[in-house]
Amino acid sequence: MTARKKTVFSGMSFDVHCGRSVGTTARPSMSGDVHSGLSLIRPLSIVVALVGALAACTNYYEIPIETPIQPKLDIAGFQRVLVAGFVAGGDDEVDANLETVRLLRSQLRQKGSLRVVEAEPLVLNEIAAQQNGGPAPPASPSDTASTQETGLPPIKEEKDLEPYERIFSKVDYWKKIGEEHQNPLIVTGSVLFRPHTTSGFVQREQEIYDQFGRRRVVPQRVYMERQGYILRPTFVFIDGKTGETLHSETFREEILYNQNTQTPALSSFFELMDRLLPTFLNAMSAQKIRGTRVLLK
Amino acid sequence: MFVRIISAVVLCLVLGAPSAFADQRDEAREQVEFGIQVAQRGLWREAIYRWERATQLDPTYAAAYNNLAIAYEHEGQLDKARAAYEKAVSLDPNSEMIRQNFDLFKEINDRAKKDGL
């Protein structure tokens, strides 16, 4: 029986086999210059023996583990999931509602256990405005009327979301949506994706060459103006049978680039969403977090 | 005569106790080593059984608690894992490896808790 043992020696990592097959040190090929080969073998074998001896004294083993994290929601009572639509705003370049619906449906189709309901995404900005006493929503859900026409302020910042987010507590509305789609688990919420600019000192690494041409990397504080985006989604999980909210969670992610970097808004949107997807999926299914631990003798 | 018998029994107990304790330590060590071998093959439940046995044989064996904590973590028994890590740290507060394992565990566990578990 062989056990794989790992030991750290002067900052280097060696893998050593211990157990019955200890004497399995690789022998160098005898072809070529036998003498120089033998003269190399001796110091090499001493080093190997030393490392072996050290390994025998070292009583730890690195081992990969996977920690299962249980889902936050019990979805046993559901067979379908409807990603209904999102209250969205912040940036005109990206339709955060449509993009979020598409992304989450695609993820749930690939990684979820529930059947994903294919339905036209709801334009919740208008529906929320209508429920707030504004004019009726447009006949077609894809008809994106300006929020200014609907009685609620346009969504530019986090505080603008508040009057829209009241829609998530309208139990009758969500119950009705649930009935239309055979009582699925409803995923909705709000997505604020907005540009962000900041300035200040940042630490950068700079290459420096001395008089002998030797390269050194030194940290340097530089004043910089940077621009990027903030993504602030709230995912709300609603029981389609009752219209009640089962679970809700809010995230905030931001990304900043140098001012001369041109990154498309949609690309930044997906980059930020990508960071949140594992946690979003963990609401409905168990996830495994991979890591390494050290076993001790 | 009676005093002699009592003295002999006490002497036997005094001389025999360290050796019995040493035997238990050796057995605990064997259990830990076997647990490592089976864990490396992915047989974590067997490893848990071995390391639990080791902690019963030698309740001061920090490494056994450390390994047990890792196994519980791998099996998703996070409360048990925390308790075992805490025990391991209390038995060997100077072990950087135990502390590092515990820190990594806390990172995951705290995140899971923060997410609403």
Question: CA B113, CA B117: separation in Å to the nearest integer?
Answer: 5
The confidence band for A232, taking pLDDT boundaries of 50, 70 and 90, is: very high
Please calculate the CA angle A128-A175-A242 and round it to the nearest 5 degrees. Answer: 125
Confidence of residue B59 (pLDDT cuts 50, 70, 90): very high
Q: Looking at the complex, does the CB of residue B29 fall below 8 Å from at least one CB of chain A?
A: yes
Which of A69, A294, A296 comes nearest B112 by C-beta? A69
pLDDT at A50: 57
Write down the pLDDT at residue A120: 95
Q: What number of other Cβ atoms are within 10 A of residue A109's Cβ?
A: 13
Band (pLDDT 50/70/90 cuts) for residue A188 is: very high
**Contact A57/B34 with Cβ under 8 angstroms?**
no
Which of A17, A67, A252, A275 should one mutate to test binding to chain B, selecting the residue with the greatest count of B CBs within 10 A? A67
* pLDDT surpasses 70 at A147: no
What global pTM score does this model have?
0.61
Contact present, A156 and A92 (Cβ < 8 Å): no
Give the pLDDT band of residue A131 (cuts 50, 70, 90).
confident
- From chain A, the residues in CB contact with B70 under 8 A are 63, 65, 293, 295
CA distance A34 to chain B (A): 39
Closest CA to A279 of B92, B12, B116, B106: B116
Beta bridge partners of A49: none
> Does A136 contact B at CB distance below 8 Å?
no
Q: Which structure tokens are listed for A13?
A: 């990592």
pLDDT of residue A266: 95
Contact A104, A187 (CB under 8 A): yes
- The predicted model gives B40-64 an average pLDDT of 97
Band (pLDDT 50/70/90 cuts) for residue A3 is: very low
Distance from chain centroid for Cα A29? 49
**pLDDT tops 80 at residue B25:** yes
Give the whole-number percent of chain B exceeding pLDDT 90.
Answer: 69
Chain B residues touching A1 at Cβ < 8 A? 37
The pLDDT assigned to B38 comes to: 97
Instruction: Look at A116-120, A128-132, B76-80, B102-106 and tell me which has the smallest mean pLDDT.
Output: A128-132
Return d(Cα A290, Cα A293) in angstroms, integer: 10
Query: 4-23 in B: which are within 8 Å (CB) of A?
Result: none
pLDDT above 70 for B11:
no
User: Which carries the bigger pLDDT value, residue B105 or residue A200?
Assistant: B105
Using DSSP's 3-state secondary structure scheme, residue A230 falls into strand
- How many CB atoms within 10 Å of residue A250? 12
DSSP character for B76? T
Q: Do A63 and B33 touch (CB under 8 A)?
A: no
